[in-house]
Amino acid sequence: MQPDRHEISISVNGTAYRRSVESRTLLSDFLRHDLLLAGTHVGCEHGVCGACTVLLDGAPIRSCLMLAVQANGHELSTIEGLASDSGELSPVQRAMHEHHGLQCGYCTPGILMTMTAFLKQNPSPSEEKVREALSGNLCRCTGYQHIVDAVMAAAQAMRAAAP
Amino acid sequence: MTTRFFGAPVKRNEDRKLLTGQALFIDDVELPGMLHAAFLRSHAAHARIKRIDVSRALQRPGVVAVYTADDYGAYWQPGPLLVPPPPIPRSIFNLRTQVPLAKDKVRHVGEPLAVVVAESRYIAEDALDDIDVDLEPLPAVIDLEAALRPGSALVHDDLGSNVSAHVHQSKGDYRAAAAKAHLVIKRRFAYEHGIASTIETRGVVAHWEARSQHMTIWDTTQAPVFVRNGLAAVLGLGERQVRVIAPFVGGGFGPKIMMFYPEEVALPWISMRLNRPVKWIEDRLEHFFATTHERGQIHDAEIAVTRDGRILGVKDVFLHDGGAYDPYGLTVPINSQCTLLGPYVVPSYDSTFTAVFTNLPIVTPYRGAGRQHGVFVMERLLDLAAHELNIDPAEIRRRNLIPADAFPYKNGIIYQDFSQLEYDSGNYEPVLDQTLQAIGYAEFKQEQEKLRAQGRHVGIGVACYVEGTGIGPYEGAKVQVQANGKVSVATGIGTQGQGHFTSFAQIAADQLGVDVTDVEIVTGDTDQFYWGAGTFASRGAVVAGNAVNEASRAVRQKALKLASDAFECAEEDLVLADGKISIVGIPEKFLSLGELAKRANPMRGAVKPGTEPGLESTQYFGPPSGATANGVHAMIVEVDPDTFDLKILKYVVVHDCGTVINPLILEGQIHGGVAQGIGNAFYEKLVFDDQGQLLNASLADYLLPTALEVPRMELGHTVTPSPLNPMGIKGAGEAGAIPVGPLFAQAIEDALQLKEKNVELLEIPLSPSRIFDLIKASEP
C-alpha cells in the first residue's frame, strides 16, 4: 500500500513552509526531521512528559499527539523562535539561566514553551499556580525548584518591563 | 592562583545552547542516506525460540535488511564483564552477560530477537509486524526465593542454579556481640529501586565511511572511551579507526553507562555491512525493558544494641535481583553491603548476599546504585531499636556516629573499587545538628501534640547516610590555550547535565587567569580526548576535575616560563590575569595568552630540547580510593488519614561533599537527587506479573514525580575536604537520592502513629494503597 500524502502549509516562528507529508507523520517528527527544527524534543510519544510541547496559534500542545496534517494552515511557535532575532533571550529563557533551571536540558524546550504561554495568561502567578502549570512537564534532573524560581522571576521581570 | 570562579555560583556556560534549541542530542544527528533501525523484542519473559521468519518483512517496500542472531555469524558474542568482582575470599560469581540478539532462548521481556533496517523508522516499525516468530513459553523465574529452590526453572540452563553471585563479608564477632546485647531486633526488609527513566531515551547513530575506513558512532553513553575500545575490538578495527561521540545527553543516572546494549553492537555492524549511516532511537515503551533497571532486594537483618542504644553489631543476609544477565558484576549488591554501615560505629558486621538471575530486565547501577537498599535497612533497624529502647530517633543516631577524631576510618570490609572501605574524612555530628536545627526538630515535637489534638496527622523523619564517591581508576584532561586566547579543555568523560562545561571551566579559568566564559569544554568525544573511564559513581568533579586542575596548572607554568623568557625577567615578577601576562607594576607591558600560544608554535626557530610546542598540557588524575561524602535529610509530612496521600511540609538536606566548586550546580544535583528519591520512596513502582510482564510500562502508569510532588527543599552544607585529592573535592551526584526511603517510612509511621497499630513500614516503595493494605492487614 502506498501511503497517502498531503500538501500542507504551516507557519513556524513566522516562516511559511509548504511540504508534502504522509497522513501518519507526527507533528513532532515533521518539525524535527522534515523542517530540521530539532530543538523540540520527544520524550515519551504518549503525551505525558511534555518535552515536545509547542505553541499552536499561541496555545501549548503536545506535538507528539498531533499529526502534521492537522497543523495545516496553523501558526506554530517552537523553541527556536523564543529568543529575538538578535539573539537576546526571552525573559523565561533568561530566568532559567539565572536560576539554574536546567541540567541536561532535554525537557527544557517543552518547559519554556509551556511557561511562555502560561505567563501570558497569568502575569502574576503564585508559586502554587506555577507548580500546577508545570506539573504537565516532567523533569528528571532538577527537582523543579530552580525552574519554579525561574518562572516566578520571569513573571516579575515581565511585569516590571510591561508598559 | 587567585580564586575568582572556584567556589562561586557561576551560571552555566552550556545553558544558551540548551535554551535556544541548538544543542545536539542524538536524534538531532541527520546524515545523507541515513537508514533507520527498529528492533523486534520478545513479548515473553522466558521462552525457547523455535523459529523466526523474516521473509515477509523483507518484501515490504522501503525495508533494506532484516537481521537475526544467525546473520551475525562470528560477530555474535556475549557482552564483556564491565566490572570484575572484588577480591573477596570465597566469593562465587557466575558470569553470564547479555547477548547482541537472542539465540535459542529469550530471558526477559524486551530482549531483542531481530532488527529491521529501512528507509524510515515508520517503515521499519511496520515491518516488525511482518516477522513471524514462534516462541515456546517456559516458566518464568520471577520470585527471588523461589528462584533458589530446587526444581526452579533456570534462566541459564548450563549453570544448574539461578545463583549469579554469593558473597560473605564480616568483621568482628557478631555472634558474640548479639550474645551480650541488651536487645536484638530482627526483621525482613524489602527495598525496590525503580528505573532512571531519563527524559531522553537511549539512541545510537553509526556511520561507516568505507573510503576512509573510519567509523563514527554517536551514542547516548556515559562512557564513550570504553564504548570505542570495546566496539573497535569486536568490529576488527583499530581504536584510531573508531570515533565515539557522546553528544548532549538527556540525563544518564547510571543505565546509560551499561554496555554493550544490543543496539550499540548492532548499529555499527549494520552500517559497515550496508555502507550507509543508520540510526536507532529507543521509544519510551522500549525504554521500560530494554534499558537496565535497578530493582529489588530482600534483607533478613538484625541489629544488636546496648541498653543505651549503642550498636554492638549488625547481621544481614540478603537476596539481590540481578535480572537476566550480570554484566556489571557485583557493583550494586556490594554497594548495598558496604553502604549499610553508614556514618555509624558498627563493631561487628556479618553480611552475606546472594545475587539471583531472574527473567527480568538486567539490573545495573542507577543513581545510588544499591546504596539506598543498605541505608534503608540500617536506618530502619535504628528506628526500631529507638522505639524499643524509648530513645529519640535522632538521639540514637547521634550516639552511634563515628567521632570526628576517628578519621580516616577503616570499616574492615572491601568496597566496589577493590580497596578497603575506608572513610577518608568526615565530621558527622555537626551535620546532624545543623539538620535538626533547620527542620526545627525540638519545636516540631511540641507542635505535633497541638496538631494531633486538632486531628492532623503530621510526622517527622531524620535519616543519615554516607556515600562512597569519586572512585578511580583515573581521568585525564588536555588543556590548551588557542591562538585566539580562548582556552580549550578536553576530557574523556561524557556529560548528561552535571554542568561540566562550567565547573571544569571554573577550575581552568582560575589557573589561567581568564574569564570562565573563555574556557571551552569538550567532553565525550574520543577523538578530542583519547583516554578515560566515564561519568559514574559521583566521580566526574573529583577525578576529571582534578585532572583539569593539574593540566591547567602545567599550562600556567608553560605560559609563565615563555613570558619570562620574552621579558627577560624572573617568573616571580610576572602576573597572570585577564588573559595576559604582565610585569608586576607595569601593566602596559604584557603579552596576551593568545600571543604566547602563537609564540609557542614558531614558524622559524626550533623548539628547544626538553620543551614542546604550544601552550598545552595533558595530565591525569587517579585517586588511591574513593572520597566519602555524607549527609542527613529531615522531613515533616502530613498524611491524609482517609486516602493516605501525603504532603511534604518541610524538607531539609545538610550535606558535606568536601570543597564545593559551584554551589549553584551542587544545589541542583541535590534537588534532583531528592526528587528521584521521592519517586522511589512513594510513587515509582515497576509492577511485574508472575509471567515477567511489566504491567505499567508507560509514563501514565509509572509515576515520575512532578512539580506538585517535589517540595521546596532547604539545603545546608558543611565542608570537610577530602585528603585524597589536592582540591579536597568529594562527589555529590547521588547523595540526594540515597536516604529518602527510610525518611518516608519513619515520617509516615510517626504521622499515622503506626507503632500503636503494630504496623511497621519495612519496605519501599510505599504508596497510599500499600499503606492502606498494611493497616488493613494489621487489623484483627
pLDDT at res. B743:
98
pLDDT at res. B3:
67
Q: Which amino acid is at B560?
A: L
Convert B400-435 to b/e letters by CB count within 10 Å (16 or more is b).
bbbeeeebebebbbbbbbebebbbbbbbbeebbbbb
In sequence order, the 6+-apart residues with CB closer than 8 A to the CB of B465 are B339, B342, B343, B371, B375, B379, B630, B631, B632, B735, B738, B739
Percent of chain B scored above 70 by pLDDT?
A: 99
- Look at A105 and B19 and tell me if their CB atoms are within 8 Å: yes
| CA-based nearest residue to B759, from B461, B454, B384 | B384
Here the cell at position B211 is 573510503
Rounded to an integer, what distance in angstroms lies between the CA atom of residue B69 and that of residue B75?
Answer: 9
Confidence of residue B606 (pLDDT cuts 50, 70, 90): low
Q: How many CB atoms lie within 10 A of CB B241?
A: 16
Q: pLDDT tens digits, residue range B146-190?
A: 999 999 999 999 999 999 999 999 999 999 999 999 999 999 999
Is the pLDDT reported for residue B556 higher than 90?
yes
Q: Which residue has the cell 497522513?
A: A23
Question: Chain A contacts of B28, Cβ < 8 Å?
Answer: 32, 38
CB B623 within 8 A of CB B725: yes
CB B429 within 8 A of CB B395: no
* DSSP secondary structure string for all residues of B620-676: EE--SS-EEEEEEEEEEEEE-TTT--EEEEEEEEEEE-BS-S-HHHHHHHHHHHHHH
Residue of A nearest to B675 (CA): A143
Lowest mean pLDDT among B88-97, B295-304, B411-420, B711-720: B411-420
Calculate the alpha carbon distances from B257 to A27, B211, B249, B600 in Å: 32, 31, 12, 39
Judge whether A5-81 and A91-161 match in fold: no
In sequence order, the 6+-apart residues with CB closer than 8 A to the CB of B726 are B546, B549, B550
Here the cell at position B291 is 534499558
Rounded to an integer, what distance in angstroms lies between the CA atom of residue A36 and that of residue B34?
Answer: 14
| CA-based nearest residue to A83, from B278, B379, B297, B15 | B15
Please indicate if any CB of chain B lies within 8 Å of the CB of A65: no
| CA-based nearest residue to B481, from B545, B559, B546 | B559
Question: Chain B contacts of A100, Cβ < 8 Å?
Answer: 11-12, 664-665, 667-668
* DSSP secondary structure string for all residues of B220-240: --S-HHHHHHHHHHHHT--GG
pLDDT at res. A70:
98
Q: Which amino acid is at B271?
A: S
Is the pLDDT reported for residue B372 higher than 80?
yes
Peptide bond into B705 cis (omega under 30): no
Residue B692, by phi and psi: left (phi above 0), alpha (psi -120 to 50) or beta? left
3-state SS, residue B482: coil
CATH code of domain A5-81: 3.10.20.30
Is the pLDDT reported for residue B487 higher than 80?
yes
Average pLDDT of chain B?
Answer: 95
**What is the mean predicted confidence (pLDDT) over B231-250?**
96
Confidence of residue B232 (pLDDT cuts 50, 70, 90): very high
Pairing of strands B311-323, B296-305: antiparallel
Lowest mean pLDDT among A113-117, B80-84, B285-289: B80-84
CB B244 within 8 A of CB B211: no
Rounded to an integer, what distance in angstroms lies between the CA atom of residue B703 and that of residue B705?
Answer: 6
Here the cell at position B321 is 535481583
Rounded to an integer, what distance in angstroms lies between the CA atom of residue B510 and that of residue B489?
Answer: 13
In sequence order, the 6+-apart residues with CB closer than 8 A to the CB of B695 are B687, B688, B689, B701
- A156 by Cβ neighbours in 10 Å (0-12 / 13-18 / 19+) ranks as middle
Please indicate if any CB of chain B lies within 8 Å of the CB of A108: yes
Q: pLDDT tens digits, residue range B633-663?
A: 999 999 999 999 999 999 999 999 999 999 9
Pairing of strands A5-12, A15-22: antiparallel
Size of interface A-B (CB pairs under 8 A): 176
**What is the mean predicted confidence (pLDDT) over A126-149?**
98
Rounded to an integer, what distance in angstroms lies between the CA atom of residue B603 and that of residue B615?
Answer: 15
Count how many residues are written for chain A.
Answer: 163
Nearest beta carbon to residue B496 from set A102, A104, A131:
A104
Rounded to an integer, what distance in angstroms lies between the CA atom of residue B583 and that of residue B589?
Answer: 6
Extended strands (E) in chain A? 5-12, 15-22, 53-56, 59-62, 75-77
pLDDT at res. A1:
42
Q: pLDDT tens digits, residue range B1-24?
A: 566 899 999 999 999 999 999 999
Distance, in angstroms, between B196 CA and closest chain A CA?
Answer: 8
Please indicate if any CB of chain B lies within 8 Å of the CB of A154: no
**What is the mean predicted confidence (pLDDT) over B705-710?**
98
Here the cell at position B69 is 542472531
**What is the mean predicted confidence (pLDDT) over B576-596?**
94
Query: For an interface test with A, which of B16, B17, B20 has the most A Cβ atoms less than 10 Å from its Cβ?
Result: B20
Q: pLDDT tens digits, residue range A62-105?
A: 999 999 999 999 999 999 999 999 999 999 999 999 999 999 99
Nearest beta carbon to residue A39 from set B22, B252, B664:
B22
Please indicate if any CB of chain B lies within 8 Å of the CB of A77: no
pLDDT at res. B98:
96
CB B214 within 8 A of CB B243: yes
Here the cell at position B71 is 546473520
Is the pLDDT reported for residue B604 higher than 80?
no
Rounded to an integer, what distance in angstroms lies between the CA atom of residue B467 and that of residue B120?
Answer: 45
pLDDT at res. B1:
52
Here the cell at position A11 is 507557519
pLDDT at res. B194:
94
Please indicate if any CB of chain B lies within 8 Å of the CB of A23: no
Q: How many CB atoms lie within 10 A of CB A127?
A: 13
Rounded to an integer, what distance in angstroms lies between the CA atom of residue B681 and that of residue B368?
Answer: 13
Here the cell at position B575 is 602576573
Rounded to an integer, what distance in angstroms lies between the CA atom of residue B558 and that of residue B575?
Answer: 13
- Measure CA B227 to chain center: 17
In sequence order, the 6+-apart residues with CB closer than 8 A to the CB of B417 are B86, B468, B471, B472, B625, B626
3-state SS, residue B151: coil
Rounded to an integer, what distance in angstroms lies between the CA atom of residue B630 and that of residue B538?
Answer: 13
pLDDT at res. A2:
52
3-state SS, residue B120: coil
pLDDT at res. B87:
87
Question: Chain B contacts of A153, Cβ < 8 Å?
Answer: none
Here the cell at position A38 is 530539532
Residue of A nearest to B495 (CA): A104
**What is the mean predicted confidence (pLDDT) over B696-720?**
97
CB B686 within 8 A of CB B194: yes
Q: How many CB atoms lie within 10 A of CB B542?
A: 32
Residue of A nearest to B30 (CA): A33
Sign of the alpha-carbon torsion through B252, B255, B260, B262: negative
Q: How many CB atoms lie within 10 A of CB B733?
A: 31
- Which domains are assigned to chain B? 197-290 (3.30.365.10), 296-471+624-778 (3.30.365.10), 472-621 (3.30.365.10)
* DSSP secondary structure string for all residues of B257-271: G----HHHHHHHHHH
* DSSP secondary structure string for all residues of A100-142: T--SS-SSHHHHHHHHHHHHHH-SS--HHHHHHHHTTS--SSS
Confirm or reject CATH 2.60.40.420 for domain A91-161, answering yes or no: no
Angle at B487 between CA B483 and CA B491, to 5 degrees: 130
Rounded to an integer, what distance in angstroms lies between the CA atom of residue A10 and that of residue A75?
Answer: 6
- Measure CA B184 to chain center: 34
Rounded to an integer, what distance in angstroms lies between the CA atom of residue B503 and that of residue B486?
Answer: 16
Please indicate if any CB of chain B lies within 8 Å of the CB of A96: yes
Distance, in angstroms, between B179 CA and closest chain A CA?
Answer: 46
* DSSP secondary structure string for all residues of B440-468: THHHHHHHHHHHHHTT--EEEEEEEEEEE
Confidence of residue B110 (pLDDT cuts 50, 70, 90): very high
Here the cell at position A117 is 504561554
Q: So where are chain A's domains?
A: 5-81, 91-161
Here the cell at position B738 is 540515597
Residue of A nearest to B497 (CA): A104
Backbone phi and psi for residue A44, each to the nearest 5 degrees, phi listed first: -135, -20
